[in-house]
Structure 1
Amino acid sequence: MASAFIIGGTGQIGIAVARRLAEEGWAVRLGSRTPPPAEGPWQHVPLDRSAPDALKTAIGDGADLLMDCIAFDEADADGLLSAQASVGHIIAVSSASVYRDEQGRTLDEAGERGFPRLPVPIREDQPTVDPGPGTYSTRKAAMERRLLDRAQCRATILRPAAIHGPYSKHAREWWFVRRLLDGRQRIPLAYGGRSRFQTTSVAAIAEAVVWAVAEDRPPILNVADADAPTAAEIGRAIMAAMGRSAEIVGLSDEPYPPSAGMSPWSVAGPFVCSSLAPNAGTYAQTVRDAVIWLVEATRGRDWRSVLPQLAAYPWVLFDYEGEDRVLSAAR
């Protein structure tokens, strides 16, 4: 029986991948500081990767697949490399944010330098930022480079975009879900609601992992849903999943970032990825599980404690008073 050890395995990506590998007959262990949020066909191994030799000890006799859902920088890549003698294949989750346009612009600096103008779709051979410690994307690029350059076993990099799925601490869908729960009848969206920011379900990531472990797969894979819906289409898909409706009001175009109607998918230009890996369906076909989980997970709780990464966004997500002024002017 093939075996897998998943670092960060109790988060949204790890749980989805673990379930999918188990369906394929794999023995799965989840390594993390916290226990799994649900029972499943896996074993949990307490893991603090910052402790010396913690990963080697947790892996024990080894694994056919070592997957890191939370690899961030060169130090994390070095940790994976330190255990490579006992594993057959390393898969690390990076981000599509590493891509740059011809002017060197990326998502990280979009507010200062302007939104990057990238090809549609973005392929895996699109140039990326130089590795370094400066930003989220440069650190991810450094992690990728270190792992691919120094791995002596098989190594694969996955580059998802706007991830959605249950157990997320950064569930962008809450931007629409809360408005619908609060009974908002009109929802403004910047750029007329036409923005396209690539979505990636955790189910698509799980499918990409199952595909990547086969022989003769490329070392770098974008991971994307079967479509790249507009912000307005995302809103309508969430409404359908909740059985609720509201009017989406498209606002006029503005320089990035817009002053109103700024959803987590609102961008001045398209950010759309192609992928060599299989997907799990369209956004509308895969987002329902995330929406159902969100409604239950936030019931009777401060949403910021459930979604701390979303709560850290540098703008106010639910300024209904300001929103009403914009909607009144739009009318």
Structure 2
Amino acid sequence: MGKSAVVLGATGQIGVAVVERLVRDGWEVRAVSRGGGPRVVWPVGSGVRTVHLDRNDDRALVRVVGEGCDVLVDCVAFGSRHGAQLAALGDRVGSAAVISTCMVYRDDDGVGFDALPGACPRFTGPVTEEQATVAPDDTTYAGGKVALERVLLESAPFPVTLLRAGMVHGAGSAAPREWYFVKRALDRRPVRLLAHRGAGICHPSAARNLAELVLAAAVRPGDRVLNVGDPAPPTVRAMAAAVDEVLGHEAEEYLIDGPGEPGLGQTPWSLRRSFVMDMGLAGRELGYRPVCDYAGSLPETVAWLVETARGRDWREAFPRLAARWGPTAFDYAAEDRAIAAGQVGGRPLVPAGRE
């Protein structure tokens, strides 16, 4: 019998990439999701079996895993309850790879990303897996992921690899950050405002890179925590330029020496201070090599975004983005007024060519 995997959250952005990567390596996959389909149709003969399941139903999960699996991949686990639920599967599972988040980290002053609205930890260099984390707390996103990690590392009777992903991107995202740049290019918007002079880095993680590391962990099980991020993470300014290149667009940039304001220079990737993860441990532990960098992932992502939004209001195509961004994301008239005034929130706007 071939290698078998159960993937929870299989129709989400990360789950699809994971299932596809495991299938290419010859694994038989039970693709588990709340909807089960038809959102994703797996190719006939791929060895994928679609399963409809509410993962909070403990008995149903036991039935799905009951025949056993070599690896269980959980793309949607959160909090101590899910940690205990997975640990209770016992010897039905050979090993597990569970998606966590880089947002668990806190700086040396105890500041994490969830601390306050707009909180931004201060790290002195690339963050390793040894960096302190926030306290476990099932009521916050970062705290809930820490609670999940703690339960699994302390009580799972099988090897668990925890993958602390950066800001996940790629085709299939429910809230694609790249749309901020893609829509502007499609609109042929001739100018772009960038807070913090576009110099910050918010470490991205391509879903395909995550899937590659999931496979590496499945092949070589062990108890470990690993960062997952793209190689050579780009600045916000470089991200915008890379999207423009894919779409054959050019924009004059205006740089803000500070945070800007909602809709005026604040992009989905803007951070007050850069956040970069150290990726060395994944290479040393598993021989992991990323399959793409940020720019290399963009043609596929951009093509998917353009096709998904074709003939539709973008707020209908990406409702989670619309709810998150509100009405200000593409207020071009407000941008034009700021450029005419030469400032945003009292901070000067500097044309990039006059730095």
Question: Given the alignment, which residue of 205, 227, 235 partners 1:200?
Answer: 205
State the shift of 1:38 in Å. Answer: 3.9
Question: What is the DSSP-based 3-state SS (H/G/I as helix, E as strand, rest coil) of the residue aligned with 1:272?
Answer: coil
110 and 249 in structure 1: CA distance in 2 versus 1, 3 angstrom threshold: farther
Partner of 2:33: 32
State the shift of 1:246 in Å. Answer: 2.0
Counterpart code for 1:265: W
Question: Within the alignment, does 1:101 sit opposite 2:101 as a pair?
Answer: no
Contact 1:164–1:287 (CA under 8 A) maintained in structure 2: no
Partner of 2:290: 279
Counterpart code for 2:333: E
Segments of structure 1 that go 5 or more residues without pairing to the other structure are none
Question: Within the alignment, does 1:300 sit opposite 2:314 as a pair?
Answer: no
Contact 1:168–1:307 (CA under 8 A) maintained in structure 2: no
Q: Deviations over 1:167-194 (max 9, x none)?
A: 1102100111111112211111101111
Give the Cα separation in 2 of the matches to 1:74 and 1:83: 15
State the shift of 1:245 in Å. Answer: 2.5
Contact 2:160–2:223 (CA under 8 A) maintained in structure 1: no
Question: Given the alignment, which residue of 244, 248, 264 partners 2:268?
Answer: 264
Counterpart code for 1:59: V
Aligned residues with identical type, % of pairs: 37
Q: Deviations over 1:291-315 (max 9, x none)?
A: 1111111112233344333333265
After TM superposition, which residue ranges in structure 1, 4 or more long, deviate above 6 angstroms? Answer: none
Counterpart code for 1:260: L
Compare CA radii of gyration and give the structure with the larger one: 2
State the shift of 1:248 in Å. Answer: 2.7
| Backbone CA RMSD of aligned residues | 2.0
Question: Given the alignment, which residue of 312, 318, 324 partners 1:313?
Answer: 324
Give the Cα separation in 1 of the matches to 2:82 and 2:139: 16
Partner of 1:136: 141
Question: Within the alignment, does 1:327 sit opposite 2:339 as a pair?
Answer: yes
Partner of 1:23: 24
Partner of 2:159: 154
Give the Cα separation in 2 of the matches to 1:265 and 1:239: 16
Counterpart code for 1:28: V
Question: What is the DSSP-based 3-state SS (H/G/I as helix, E as strand, rest coil) of the residue aligned with 2:272?
Answer: coil
Question: Given the alignment, which residue of 174, 182, 196 partners 1:177?
Answer: 182
Give the Cα separation in 2 of the matches to 1:215 and 1:33: 29
State the shift of 1:94 in Å. Answer: 0.7
301 and 231 in structure 1: CA distance in 2 versus 1, 3 angstrom threshold: same
Give the structure-1-normalised TM-score. Answer: 0.93
Written as runs of structure 1 = structure 2, the 5 A alignment for 1:189-268 is: 189-215=194-220, 217=222, 219-254=224-259, 260-268=264-272
Contact 1:280–1:286 (CA under 8 A) maintained in structure 2: no
State the shift of 1:326 in Å. Answer: 2.0
Contact 2:193–2:265 (CA under 8 A) maintained in structure 1: yes
Question: Given the alignment, which residue of 63, 78, 83 partners 2:84?
Answer: 78
Contact 1:160–1:223 (CA under 8 A) maintained in structure 2: yes
Number of equivalences:
329
Question: What is the DSSP-based 3-state SS (H/G/I as helix, E as strand, rest coil) of the residue aligned with 1:71?
Answer: coil
50 and 134 in structure 1: CA distance in 2 versus 1, 3 angstrom threshold: closer
Counterpart code for 2:87: L
Contact 2:80–2:138 (CA under 8 A) maintained in structure 1: no
Contact 2:83–2:148 (CA under 8 A) maintained in structure 1: yes
Contact 1:201–1:280 (CA under 8 A) maintained in structure 2: no
